Structure 1
């Protein structure tokens, strides 16, 4: 990786010298470091004050043992009774499912003062990384003599699956997963332990946990108390078990010490977590595909969907709660994608990548040995993306259709079940039906959990109208609806959708569960226009699959070669892109200059909450206790002396992305001083590029977490459990 000097920041006319510049230390330019790479770092020179092995020790207990992957986010154990801290938005779906109009935990928050009062966090599990092993030779050895792209990809996937099965057979107590670290190049087997019983302990009022709403999302300054507490439970014998009243709190091998003193500007900090996906090592064509197709299509679609669902939620509180998680997820992606679009254009990343790739092509052509192996690489990449771009609109539509329309999801799950049932020998069909029906009902319950018929119908109409506008080369077969006379295709779409929804019995979940699924006979006899439409969509996906697999196989090989030759060209090793496996990133508490003469300080305070609350925007409403406590200067021991206030959120220059939500922010001694939850707007392009000048992540300060818990929600019992004195 390239190294760069730490800057000396000019803050309000005063030069603050960075204290960690000992021995001329220069930090990495970027990096989400896998466990296997941590030993290559010199974190002591960066500012770490504990032994580096205390972060990750493959032969003993270390800080990584306190980390969990919870619901696609990161969390950390902070007590020996399985207490977990993560983000408010990471618990959002579980809180939504636990809420009713009578017990609206989503709005009012929730505090369980005893273990018995804790609520099941439906849909959430905890996954703990147990160990890892490089299996690249085993995976790639299976395709050493294979050139056909589709066959090659299938053999790679089969090899990965076989390794997983073998690992789980050798140790039934783990879940095995082979992760592709570099596409087509390197593979690592991760062994995980999964805790199935997770419960909600403490979730703050939504006016705290989601303060600023979408107005402030991906924005700094930020004043969001984005935190929540959960607890992991296991069976009395310590084994993983599903939710049961007699389960006991899990005792982790390691839990983090909470430091209530927080941080100061330019303090060394680091994060351990499970960042989702980054695409730093892709060519210009990939970035162009994202910029031209993926980002605008998805952000515009989600904007439309949210308008429809927000209007539907105005009918009653139950509908509002039911649609809340989907609206929140859509809004988060939508703003993120718009930020990425702005960022990509702002730094002209496509142009920069094209320049880099031109230099790479020149390097290939000027070196006979390299040219012999990689001579057609850049042309092959370009030709592949011409094919991908030619189908982009249809492929994106097919990717989004089931998520867009809940009843099509219901249709899909019923069809899959019916097909599997019909493929059984006649003598075994009844047993298959009985055995697998509970699982089908579980899938359907997920479809209906965020379903509203009015929203579903309007969104389906939008999707179908879009599909009818595609060129013949990107035709969606199911959308081949003849024009309704002079009134045209728009009227025909409306008539089709209205008829399909009015006649379908799938819109009634009670009918589906109690009548349709009452027997094999009733299931086999049922059909309607929505199910016919869904079958046409599924059939086209199946027809397109061989070509899609071929392209994936070609891409797998090309990207492996692209990284190999680029490392030769630049004479350096790359850090693998994030892929939801455990990573470390480190840096410093630091502000930044997003624009000329616009310095952003790295801390916000309660005062800022009160200031935003005067704007009239309901997303800046806050509990009245906050003003009363602030005016009384009742900060307890959680004020930052130089601010004379409680710090709410803070900035740092670490390398994070989606999946790092909930990651513990630790100080130089490995103590918890905050919880990561977001990035500044300019850093939404971290998935594609990172730069110290604009890449800033945002965390909720532990002092605000503790202040809210103690002063607002009277959760003193939690502070006692984590060893913090008020």
Structure 2
């Protein structure tokens, strides 16, 4: 950016800010607003050009009806024939499962020019929010007289399940779920429609969809074409149905209009989506637990796992494809967690939280009535977290062990199935076996599809070695039996793994499906070291559960009280933390200053792809067509005139987190102008804290999506379906 442009940009920003403040509008309000809170906002003052009830209208059709939750991400309908746009990384696992060494869609991309060429997106479904209802009074009323923490929590969970079950009985066409909006305080019943048949329509080349790889992940400037297209299908009568050639494209209540003109700097924008989880209304002790235990342990473990799996993938292409999704997921979490660690330390959030909690304690102690009700709140929170911290290493290990070792996950599901089978009366065992076997096989198939024995052995050894070094009060019993047999626990662990993996037949999926699961008799006749080890792990988890439930029950009550008294202290209502329910966030297309003398412009261009491509990093390799088209200035109608290029990605100051991947970015008229896919590195701590100065999210510009689809992959049929003129 030249000096004149920079000054103009900053002046525009300053004038806009002054204008907003003079109008009485408070900008940059943090929050992922639930549907129930949207009516409290004045989005017109913020810059919205349509009527606010066009975003959410409980009595009619609105933009929220175009939103879907797809595979833990967000997507949106963009045609009346069920066409969905989301992120490339959201479709990644389905593309991996559809790929083979002969048809490597993961690397080469995929375009279905005819409906019959669309591929089943295995493992993905679409969930659409149908309606919601506050049921806090019903939930909390059921526990009003209960003081025992474990009993209270159990009754809350039972009430949540019963209310959801009751809603499904009233309307069998929906799936119901009660979500805890504020822990221990507010609960909302959500009714969802689920589409079971989702198909891949268009996924760009991996050098586009994953451009920059882990080098650029959580980093700005960004040049990743992180988009993909899917289609939702239903039975001919419009009802949800599993994949079938007889199914027809779903007709949504609403679909988004695609605006190929994109945005300009300082344009008002908003997002609807399904953000995962945030933890902003938690005390200092929670942040300390994250910083001291969760973030470093998980990021280091995933780093080791990925190195192990990447080395295993060098054996052959089939193994590389099998492990690709696990590696990608791990890498994303690993870099996110390390960004959180850096961010937490950078803004010293623990000290800030401690200061806030000290002020809260003073407020409690300074008011006789509040002290009578909440006088022990802060000390009770502190005492609880001392217990939680005292078991942190073992708890985290037990949380990760099944995800780490595929064969142990297989063992757990076989053991659970076997126990449930043997709990049946003798006369009903055969029927139970036949009815429940397909579900077990489905899960085991998924585990084997991302399994490699060499990687499993090395990761299992790492897990056992870690556990063998835990302090005496955090021993893992199954590991202790192995490692305490000799002075050198490492050699004993190595010998145990050699013996156990050598003898187990669970490593052979054909044996498991063809012999072990052939009959109840065959299942009960088989046992081995891994099944026994898993039984001991499960037994210890069950032994620890009563105390864990007790602590969860205490935490549930304490956090409800913590939010209640903090709202009184600050004299304001909080926006509930994200919990994978539908939310709105809004803001502006805007750059930022991550460090002194480092201004980050809000747009990147194709030119940047070529510049990074000259650095020699294979993660910056790109299809040769991109360079040829750029040199010819063949931008079509997707050029941003002031950049004299096609914009690839852009920044905005909206409040997003995990689960917002794939969320539609909309302009002031509710038109699609981009797809959210990431945050800048400093914004990885959005889960714990948000600030306009450093919280920036990243989206792929719709102009780049359309340019790639039209110019690179010749998918003009999709532009036509979206109503975009070429």
**Same structural fold, with TM-score higher than 0.5 when normalized by the shorter chain:** yes
Partner of 1:379: 379
CA RMSD for the aligned pairs? Answer: 1.2
**Cα deviation, residue 360, structure 1:** 0.3
**Residues of 1 paired with 2:12 and 2:422: CA distance?**
75
- Residues 134 and 486 of structure 1: CA distance in aligned 2, closer, same or farther (over 3 Å): closer
**Cα deviation, residue 575, structure 1:** 0.2
Partner of 2:546: 546
**Residues of 1 paired with 2:34 and 2:68: CA distance?**
15
Task: Check the 8 A contact 1:585/1:656 in 2, yes or no.
Answer: yes
Partner of 2:193: 193
Partner of 1:152: 152
**Cα deviation, residue 339, structure 1:** 0.1
1:90-489 superposed matches below 5 A? 90-481=90-481, 488-489=488-489
CA deviations over 1:631-665 (Å, ceiling 9, x no partner)? 00000000000000000000000000000000000
CA deviations over 1:598-650 (Å, ceiling 9, x no partner)? 00000000000000000000000000000000000000000000000000000
Partner of 2:77: 77
**Cα deviation, residue 519, structure 1:** 1.3
Partner of 2:707: 707
**Residues of 1 paired with 2:180 and 2:126: CA distance?**
22
**Cα deviation, residue 108, structure 1:** 0.1
Partner of 1:5: none
CA deviations over 1:319-368 (Å, ceiling 9, x no partner)? 00000000000000000000000000000000000000000000000100
Partner of 2:595: 595
**Cα deviation, residue 447, structure 1:** 1.4
SS in 1 for 2:635: coil
**Residues of 1 paired with 2:488 and 2:123: CA distance?**
44
CA deviations over 1:240-274 (Å, ceiling 9, x no partner)? 00000010000000000000000000000000000
Task: Check the 8 A contact 2:590/2:653 in 1, yes or no.
Answer: yes
Task: Check the 8 A contact 2:65/2:129 in 1, yes or no.
Answer: yes
**Residues of 1 paired with 2:147 and 2:484: CA distance?**
50
- Residues 484 and 495 of structure 1: CA distance in aligned 2, closer, same or farther (over 3 Å): farther
Number of matched pairs? 719
Partner of 1:577: 577
Task: Check the 8 A contact 2:28/2:587 in 1, yes or no.
Answer: no
Could you tell me which runs of 5 or more consecutive residues in structure 1 were left unpaired when the two chains were aligned.
1-7
Pair 1:665-2:665 in alignment: yes
SS in 1 for 2:30: coil
**Cα deviation, residue 486, structure 1:** 7.0
Task: Check the 8 A contact 1:306/1:331 in 2, yes or no.
Answer: yes
**Cα deviation, residue 481, structure 1:** 3.7
SS in 1 for 2:58: coil
Partner of 2:617: 617
**Cα deviation, residue 51, structure 1:** 0.3
**Residues of 2 paired with 1:529 and 1:666: CA distance?**
55
SS in 2 for 1:116: helix
**Cα deviation, residue 443, structure 1:** 1.3
**Residues of 1 paired with 2:129 and 2:176: CA distance?**
10
**Residues of 2 paired with 1:24 and 1:373: CA distance?**
38
**Residues of 1 paired with 2:13 and 2:558: CA distance?**
47
**Residues of 2 paired with 1:237 and 1:383: CA distance?**
58
CA deviations over 1:674-711 (Å, ceiling 9, x no partner)? 00000000000000000000000000000000000000
**Cα deviation, residue 520, structure 1:** 1.1
Task: Check the 8 A contact 1:484/1:491 in 2, yes or no.
Answer: no
Pair 1:30-2:30 in alignment: yes
Q: Which sits farther off after the overlay, 371-380 or 424-433? A: 424-433
**Cα deviation, residue 430, structure 1:** 1.1
**Residues of 1 paired with 2:27 and 2:705: CA distance?**
30
Task: Check the 8 A contact 2:482/2:496 in 1, yes or no.
Answer: no
**Cα deviation, residue 435, structure 1:** 1.4
**Residues of 1 paired with 2:696 and 2:531: CA distance?**
47
Partner of 2:67: 67
**Residues of 2 paired with 1:684 and 1:53: CA distance?**
32
**Cα deviation, residue 438, structure 1:** 1.0
**Cα deviation, residue 135, structure 1:** 0.1
Could you tell me which runs of 5 or more consecutive residues in structure 2 were left unpaired when the two chains were aligned.
none
SS in 1 for 2:594: coil
**Cα deviation, residue 278, structure 1:** 0.1
SS in 1 for 2:600: coil
Q: Which sits farther off after the overlay, 25-34 or 280-289? A: 25-34
Structure 1 residue ranges (4+ consecutive) displaced by more than 2 angstroms after TM superposition = 8-25, 481-487
**Residues of 2 paired with 1:212 and 1:19: CA distance?**
34
1:12-51 superposed matches below 5 A? 16-19=13-16, 21-22=19-20, 23-51=23-51
**Cα deviation, residue 15, structure 1:** 5.1
Partner of 1:4: none
- Residues 127 and 13 of structure 1: CA distance in aligned 2, closer, same or farther (over 3 Å): closer
CA deviations over 1:145-195 (Å, ceiling 9, x no partner)? 000000000000000011001000000000000000000000000000000
